[in-house]
Structure 1
Amino acid sequence: MPLPPAPTKRAASLAREDYDAPVRTASKPGRSKKTRVDDAAQDEKPVARLLPAEQIETRAPVLAKEPPAPAEVVTARAVTPANDDAASRDRGALLREPAPKRKAAPKPAGPAKLFVLDTNVLMHDPMCLFRFEEHDIFLPMIVLEELDSHKKGMTEVARNARQTSRTLDALAAAKEQDIATGLPLDATGHREAQGKLFFQTQVLDYKLPISLPQGKADNQILGVVEALRQQHAPREVVLVSKDINMRVKARALGLGAEDYQNDKALEDGEFLYSGALALPPDFWSKNGKTVESWQQGLHTFYRITGPIVPELLINQFVYFEAPGEPSLYARVTEIRAKTAVLKTLKDYNHLKHAVWGVTTRNREQNFAMNLLLDPEVDFVTLTGNAGTGKTLMALASGLTQVLDDRRYTEIIMTRATVSVGEDIGFLPGTEEEKMGPWMGALDDNLEVLAKTETSAGEWGRAATNELIRSRIKIKSMNFMRGRTFLNKYVIIDEAQNLTPKQMKTLITRAGPGTKIVCMGNLQQIDTPYLTEGSSGLTFAVDKFKGWPHSGHITLARGERSRLADFASEVL
């Protein structure tokens, strides 16, 4: 018996196009809901053209000399119409094929540079030795002396200095080679580093201006850079330092100098992922005939196609606002090849959907409240200027899910203890009493939330306040190492003052059933040597975007008072 004819399409395409039931299109939201898939129509669809998975796998070498590459599909929580059966879900499993391996990026042309690292770079990022790709690294002897003098203590700088010393020791002991010829940086398994590490093994002859003190460590490093520039000409020798004055002096002497850029998630804070995207004004006129829609519970789903799909990310919000047209506010729940599924939102602007007596006042706040109350979203980041409602919404949604829904057992609140001005000294009392002065924002927002209950009377409000206080725990970040939070609602306030390493330490404390909310204002960074691009909050927003169980929104409009809004703009 001859074999059936070979399929002309890939398995993923057949499963997607030839198996799906016809769905009527909806041109705009708010129209008639005659868009449900009819079971009878789905049964009438011919399915004989799809070969079983076993035949496709066994016949692949016979059908073509070069089998086609598997389709790359980005999948989140699958959203299907209410009348999809188990067979359609099984067919969807055919789409979960491994993505093709990405080709390695070509190496840039040109000779490798020689980077001279300042001590502050090594103490800022202990892994910086492996961040320079094919270029070589040179460490002056004075840098090793400064590392040794800073390794004592329990501070972040001391820990990084010790880690750097261990890394240097591992590189020196990995292979028996002459240090003068350079140590390969990939000897300890870091294959991305293709260059070599050089130590200063001899006295270098250099001349600096008489106005520069010769005994200062910074000037000695500048002298080493000058000597290397003359010795390795025309090879480019560059000083890498986090010290601005050091770079200014190097450029004044005609030496190449750069900042350490690898710690920055973004070059410019304006390019930070905002979490929301406005649909173009001609979206419905161009794509209305191809949009599929269906109703599932209280939400409406839309499957869209077109050039806007590659710009979308999972859990990103999209909105359409135009005069004379029905508005659309939705969240991306699924992306498959060239199609995306949008899910309409719950309107928390209305009083009947108030969360602990709080209603949202603008579009971005409504987006944020949908993220905060979604049990499938484990990690939420909120950014925005002062007075945009970050802390109030996080507390209100936390109290609702702890006291009303019993989804979490308690609220844990912490923040970076970085003062704006001079430190007032040691604080007496227990851990929570010491954290009390830092938690003024918590007290202010609890006072607002307590006023929303007006029918209980004075005794009822006092009892409510006691209940709320018993379910909120204030913890210090200094004692987070090694902890695991189970079924907790964790709020990290003032997260813009955290380093990426501190942010990783806090997020990895989450156990099963825990939700973490990070909020902050990137324009109010008080930690020294931390910028908008290198903040831990920026780092978390950039790394978690597109993950199915995380979401971010940038709050745009202040709602505190007209005085606070005006001050944020003009001061």
Structure 2
Amino acid sequence: MPLPKMPTKPAALLSPKDYPKAEKGKSVKTDKPEPKLVAVPQQPLATKPAAKIASPVVAKLPAAPSRAKTPAVKAEKPVASKAKSAESRVKSGTSRAADKSGVTKLFVLDTNVLMHDPSSLFRFEEHDVYLPMITLEELDDHKKGMSEVARNARQVSRSLDALVGDIDHHEIEQGIALSKLGNKDAKGHLYFQTKLQTASLPAGLPQGKADNQILTVVRALEADQPGRPVVLVSKDINMRIKARALGLPAEDYFNDHVLEDSDLLYSGIVQLPEDFWNKHGKGVETWQENKNGLSTTFYRITGPLIPSLLVNQFVYLEPNNGEASFYGQVRQINGKTAVLQTLRDYGHAKHSVWGITSRNREQNFALNLLMDPECDFVTLLGQAGTGKTLLALAAGLAQVLETKTYNEIIVTRVTVPVGEDIGFLPGTEEEKMSPWMGAFDDNLEVLNKSDNDAGDWGRAATQDLIRSRIKIKSLNFMRGRTFVNKFLIIDEAQNLTPKQVKTLVTRAGPGTKIICLGNIAQIDTPYLTEGSSGLTYVVDRFKGWAHSGHVTLARGERSRLADHASEIL
């Protein structure tokens, strides 16, 4: 159909004459009569241009403030999300799950969790804790005796008795607030199994076994509370495997873990960057002090590395361009400034300790800590053959027999066998402990042979003198004791629990120095790992204290055979 003529002005009405007629032989198909056809397009032509002209003018007025507000709203959202993510990093994994879903979890505790950590009832933050009746039965079976497990079982029983002491049966069924005893971090409730829980397990599982009864309780709780996560917590690996095989969620007890990865453990040593003095040498203050007849140099420095340093941490710089190396120790940290002290070189023969000189950098750091009278607590970690026991004994003998700083050396260790137990040992306390102290006897023999000028008679007299000043004590009889002016060596400390380490360290009286030795890669105590060992616990908690120090010995010095075996086996 031909188009009509163009209108002369906006919103002008077109007459029927303006539409050209169709050619002959060609029909123009229209659905409506011609007058109505003209009237229909007239209204849109009159209204649409007016709407198009008016709408941009009206829309521009509110558009400007809306665009101005939009960036402000977008800028606030990332700030809120960052703050929320920072809070979630502080909380545990269970707390994050509760924050997202809004539903707290119900943790069913195995007996070994309670016997491993008596305070585990109060370690689950806002989540609830459920104790099956068989768990209480097993606690009752293990409460007798003087072992650590028996003590923990009795402590759990006392805590449970304090929680349920003054409430009735109805309140027990409703749940007991775990914050009742003053544990403010425990915001959940404690539930007991007050009725028989029945659930279907595979027919091959013995129903009378305690582990299977706990699994039955977990399955029944899942059925009773379908909208709530029910998780079994156990230190038994096979128990967790069995639970997962049955489709039940199970977790290890991680609250006692100081670190998830042992590689993140504080080493006590930091290597300085090659441009350290360029960035930290401006305005450096230097002075010397005379301590114990030796001149020591101090440096007061400022720079970007200072916030990452800790007191008594060792620093070193070994340039590749042939310049002199620097070995120091952080003595003070005041805001943005730190005081570094140069070290005594125990690798030189004139500075030998009971005839022993350091063979590598880490051993020199360790001897500086062991011979420092201001350092009351020292921890030494390292693989077999790094010289932990030898250095500690040499430093102890030098400070007991030569400088008279301490009265005697006390040696103790955990009596955990590597293989099968050989049974009871006869004799006194020291005679019973002597088979466990073979490592000290070997090192004493090395130290006794270091004096070549004494002769056989002189070495025998020295050995008798040394034996008279070294006392071997059992760990089982340490509770309640106080050691004054003693040099206490705790060997194989990686087999201690955090509670046992606390018991030993709190025995220290005035003038006592405690040295903890161990290798966290050789843990023989059941349920202890590298992250939950007492040695890892004290290394992490004591770092940065002005009267403690730690060194991780890296290089083995026992023999080339021992070093090669440590690498390949």
Instruction: Give the drift of 1:425.
Output: 2.1
Residue in structure 2 matched with residue 273 of structure 1 by the alignment = 266
Question: Do residues 118 (structure 1) and 110 (structure 2) align?
Answer: yes
Q: How is 1:445-464 mapped onto 2 (pairs within 5 angstroms)?
A: 445-464=443-462
Separation in 2, partners of 1:524, 1:410: 29
- Are 1:142 and 2:131 matched, yes or no? no
Offset of residue 111 of structure 1: 2.0
Distance 2:427 2:107 in 1: 49
Shift in CA distance, 545/174, structure 1 to aligned 2, threshold 3 Å = farther
> 2:360, 2:275 → 1: CA distance?
24
Q: 2:156 aligns with which of 159, 164, 171?
A: 164
TM-score normalised according to structure 2 size: 0.80
- Deviation digits for residues 77-103 of structure 1, max 9, x if unmatched? xxxxxxxxxxxxxxxxxxxxxxxxx9x
Q: Deviations over 1:252-294 (max 9, x none)?
A: 1221111001111111111111010001122122222243322
Shift of 1:451: 1.3
Runs of at least 5 residues in structure 1 that lack an aligned partner in the other structure? 1-101
Is contact 1:388-1:556 (8 Å) kept?
yes
Shift of 1:154: 1.9
Please say which of residues 279-288 and 544-553 is displaced more in the overlay. Answer: 279-288
> What residue is the counterpart of 2:374 in the other structure?
376
2:439 match: 441
Q: Following the alignment from structure 1 to structure 2, what is the Cα–Cα distance between the partners of residues 204 and 495?
A: 43
Is the CA contact (8 Å cut-off) linking 2:132 and 2:192 kept in structure 1?
yes
Q: What CA distance in whole angstroms lies between the structure 2 residues aligned with 1:503 and 1:399?
A: 24
In 2: Cα distance, 1:319 partner to 1:233 partner: 59
Q: Give runs of aligned pairs for residues 25-424 of structure 1, distance below 5 A.
A: 108=96, 109=99, 110-173=102-165, 178-297=171-290, 298-323=295-320, 324-424=322-422
Q: CA deviation at 1:396?
A: 0.7
> Matched residues, percent identical?
70
Conservation of the 8 A alpha-carbon contact between 2:279 and 2:303: no
Corresponding residue for 2:72?
none
C-alpha RMSD of matched pairs (Å): 1.7
Which SS does the other structure have where 1:138 is aligned? strand
Q: After superposition, give the CA deviation of every residue in 1:226-250 in whole Å (9 maximum; x if it has no partner).
A: 1111222221111100011111111
**Moved segments of 4+, more than 6 Å:** 104-107
User: Residues 389-415 of structure 1: CA distance to partner in whole angstroms, max 9, x if unpaired?
Assistant: 111111111111011111101111111
CA contact (8 A) 1:222 1:250 kept: yes
Higher helix share: 2
Q: Is the 8 A contact 1:127 1:164 kept in 2?
A: yes
Counterpart position of 1:13 = none
Q: Does 1:465 align with 2:463?
A: yes
* Counterpart code for 1:384: G
Report the CA distance between 1:220 and its aligned residue. 1.3
Q: Is the 8 A contact 1:301 1:342 kept in 2?
A: yes
- Does the 8 Å contact 1:413/1:493 carry over to 2? yes
Looking at structure 1, the residues matched to 150 and 410 of structure 2 have their Cα atoms a distance apart, in angstroms, of: 29
Report the counterpart of residue 532 of structure 1 in structure 2. 530
- Aligned-partner Cα distance in 2 for 1:147–1:437: 33
Cα distance in 2 for partners of 1:141, 1:290 equals 69
1:381 shift after superposition: 0.5
- In 2: Cα distance, 1:148 partner to 1:422 partner: 27
Query: What SS class does the counterpart of residue 178 from structure 1 fall into?
Result: helix
> Which whole-Å CA distance do the structure 2 matches of 1:495 and 1:293 have between them?
39
Which one is further off, 350-359 or 323-332?
323-332
Q: Is the 8 A contact 1:496 1:524 kept in 2?
A: yes
Change (3 A) 1:164 1:352: same
Q: Distance in 2 between matches of 1:483 and 1:229?
A: 49
- Partner of 1:467, secondary structure, is helix
152-161 or 534-543, larger mean C-alpha shift: 152-161
Instruction: Look up the SS of the partner of 1:289 in the other structure.
Output: coil
- Which residue of structure 2 aligns with residue 69 of structure 1? none
Per-residue CA deviation, residues 161-196 of structure 1 (Å, 9 max, x unaligned), is 111111111011255661111000011111110000
Compare 433-442 and 130-139 and name the one that shifted more. 433-442
Alignment match of 2:496 (pick from 495, 498, 510): 498
TM-score, structure 1 length as denominator? Answer: 0.80
**Which residue identity lines up with residue 296 of structure 2 in the other structure?**
H
- Indicate conservation of the 8 Å contact 2:313/2:330, yes or no: yes
Distance 2:297 2:334 in 1: 18
Taking structure 1 as reference, are residues 459 and 205 closer, same or farther at Cα in structure 2, changes over 3 Å only?
closer
Letter in 2 for 1:243: D
Q: Distance in 2 between matches of 1:225 and 1:209?
A: 14
Q: Distance in 1 between matches of 2:242 and 2:434?
A: 44
Gaps of 5+ in 2: 1-86
d(CA) in 1 for partners of 2:200 and 2:441? 61
SS at structure 1 position matched to 2:331: strand
Q: Secondary structure at the match of 1:227?
A: helix
Q: Indicate the SS of the match to 2:502.
A: helix
Mapping 1:553-568, distance limit 5 Å: 553-568=551-566
Please list the CA deviations of residues 460-485 of structure 1 after superposition, one character each: whole Å capped at 9, or x if unmatched: 22211111111111111111111111
Give the residue type in structure 2 aligned to 1:253: L
Q: CA separation in 2, counterparts of 1:121 and 1:273?
A: 27
Q: Which SS does the other structure have where 1:137 is aligned?
A: strand
Choose from 423, 426, 439 the match for 2:424: 426
2:518 to 517, 520, 543: 520
Equivalent residues of 1:411, 1:471 under 8 A apart: yes
CA contact (8 A) 1:383 1:553 kept: yes
Distance in 2, matches of 1:420 and 1:199, equals 39
In 1, the alpha carbon distance for the partners of 2:422 and 2:193 equals 44
Structure (1 or 2) with the larger CA radius of gyration: 2
Distance 1:175 1:228 in 2: 24
Letter in 2 for 1:569: E
Aligned partners of 2:157 and 2:178: how far apart in 1?
14
Deviations 1:476-530 (A, max 9, x none): 1111111111101111111111111111111111110000111011111111221
